[in-house]
Each structure stands twice: as C-alpha cells, then as structure tokens.
Amino acid sequence: MGSGTEGGERDGMHRLEWRSLLPHLRPSGQQAMATHVAWIARDFGRRDLSPLSDEDVEALGRVLEPMRVEAGRKVLSPGEPSDAAYIVERGEVELYLRRGRRRTLVGIQRAGGVFGDVPLLCEVPFPYSAVARTDSVLLKLPRDRLTDVLTRHPAIALRWLSSVVKRLEHANRRIVGLTVGDLRARTLALLADEIMEGVRPAGALRLTQAELAALLGASRQSVNRVLGGLAREGLIRQLYGEIEVVEGERVLELAGGQAFVRRVC
C-alpha cells in the first residue's frame, strides 16, 4: 500500500512539473515559446528519469526555433549538411530515400520524434529526404545551440539520450520484425509495433497500403492480399487512407508476444 502511494505521488509530481515551469518564460512575453517548452518538459524523452529545472527551461526557450510546415514541404534533402536537429511537436514527417523511380520509406516521425540529431552529432550529411506528411509544427535546434545546451544542462542531455535510445530500440525491434517469418508474420509484427508505439487512439493506424508495402519492402499487391486475409479474420478493418486494428491484443499475440514487440524504453 505504501509503495503504491509513493508511486502515485511521484507520478503526480511528474505530471505537475511541466506546468510549474511555464511562468519562468511568461515574464519575457514569450507565451507561445512557453507552450513549446512545456510540451518538451511533458512529452519529450523520459521525464521520470530527468525532470527539468528552471534553468533548463530558460535554456530551451533560448535555443528553440518553432517552425510551421505545410504538408508536402521538404524539410531536408539527402547530402545536406546536418546543421540542425528537429523535434516533431505536432504532425508527421516522412523519411525516405529515392533511387531512380523507386521511393523507399524509411520511417515516419510523429509527435516526440526527432530527426537530424544523429548526423549532426556524427558530423555527416543528412542521409534521407524529410518531408512533412501532414501540416506540422517542428522545433528546430541549430547545431551550435544544441551542442551548447547538451553540454551545459545534464538533465536536457539525459532527456535527449533517452530519445536516442528509444529510437535505436525501435529500429532494432523493427529490423527483427521485418526479417523474421513470411509476409503475414512481418505484417503482423509491423502492426504490433505501431500499436505499441500508440500512434493513434482506438487502434486506427494512419498508413496506406502503399506505405505499409514500402515499410515492409514488399509489393503492394502482396501486402493487399495479406491485409485482406487479416480483415476476413476480423483482426483489422481497411478504411480510406488508414487501417483500423480491431483486435489489438490478438494482433500482439499473433506477432509472437516476443521481445521485439515489447516497448522497453
């Protein structure tokens, strides 16, 4: 009973922490920026591992550059110098490669997702195209400002590290899921992975058949046959522009309940 109470108190403190930080930016007239910083304090990285101090909040307010990006706008191109990192606050950004006429979808960054930071820190050009999939709000952190804030503010650095680890864990999980079993098994693993990421409420995954095929490295016709079979089994429902997972627990069970579909970070 005591440990449960203590855990509830800690959770309550974490829930209130980001709200308590807003006043530190408002006196300077940066209400809009305060909203962006509060979002980071609440939703970016592992706040339970690294609560932000007043100084951390003020530092973030100085380095962030909010950007509103319309759907279809290119943010980065392959080969460009990595001079900034981007956090997706709202919306979706596609990362893809193009080889001739072939377009390979590498991934979709949603709220809380980050791109550009690893090439920046490794001092290599950005490897993909990054295009807004929907109208989006991005938080841009230029190279010098990002490296400075990570050096001077350990709590922010730990938050960023937890984000990198989460993306690495997600990439490893997806690689395993896409290389084990036949196309049906790989499709189930991908759907399970999306469920575990909690990308949409009520099991709705905003992915088209073409995007699923690209993520699976399979033909659209083959994926369509698999999805048709899953629909007949009552596991999913195919809608316009998205797929609704009707039996999420069953999808997770059929995906194996293995380590690669469990979130560990």
Residues 71 and 188 in one domain: no
Residues 111 and 52 in one domain: yes
What is the structure's pLDDT at 194? 77
- Domain end position, chosen among 137, 165, 193: 165
pLDDT band at residue 15, thresholds of 50, 70 and 90? very low
pTM: 0.68
pLDDT band at residue 90, thresholds of 50, 70 and 90? very high
pLDDT band at residue 16, thresholds of 50, 70 and 90? very low
Q: Which residue has the higher pLDDT, 68 or 33?
A: 68
Residues 90 and 135 in one domain: yes
Determine, yes or no, domain membership for 152.
yes
What is the structure's pLDDT at 210? 80
Over 60: is that where the pLDDT of 5 sits? no
What values do phi and psi take at 42, rounded to 5? -90, -40
Rounded Cα distance between 176 and 196, Å, is 15
Helix axes 2-20, 31-43, angle to 10 degrees: 150
Determine, yes or no, domain membership for 108.
yes
Could you report the per-residue pLDDT of 102-153, keeping only the tens digit for each?
A: 778 888 888 888 999 999 999 999 999 999 999 999 999 999 999 999 999 9
Determine, yes or no, domain membership for 175.
no
Q: What pairs with residue 90 in β-bridges?
A: 137
Determine, yes or no, domain membership for 73.
yes
Residues 35 and 122 in one domain: yes
Residues 22 and 144 in one domain: yes
**Domain interval for residue 18:** 1-165
Could you report the per-residue pLDDT of 18-38, keeping only the tens digit for each?
A: 445 444 444 444 567 778 888
What is the structure's pLDDT at 29? 44
User: Of the given ranges (80-89, 91-100, 185-194, 256-265), which has the lowest mean pLDDT?
Assistant: 256-265
Residues 86 and 192 in one domain: no
Determine, yes or no, domain membership for 170.
no
Residues 140 and 40 in one domain: yes
What is the structure's pLDDT at 178? 67
- For position 136, which CATH number holds? 2.60.120.10
CB-based contacts of 128, cutoff 8 Å, min separation 6: 76, 78, 95, 96, 97, 106, 115
Q: Structurally, how many domains does the chain consist of?
A: 2
Determine, yes or no, domain membership for 158.
yes
What is the structure's pLDDT at 154? 93
H helix or E strand, kind and range, residue 252: helix 248-254
Residues 161 and 188 in one domain: no
Residues 155 and 85 in one domain: yes
What is the structure's pLDDT at 201? 45
Determine, yes or no, domain membership for 174.
no
126 neighbors 116 (Cβ within 8 angstroms): yes
Residues 82 and 151 in one domain: yes
Q: Residues of the chain with pLDDT > 90: what percent?
A: 31
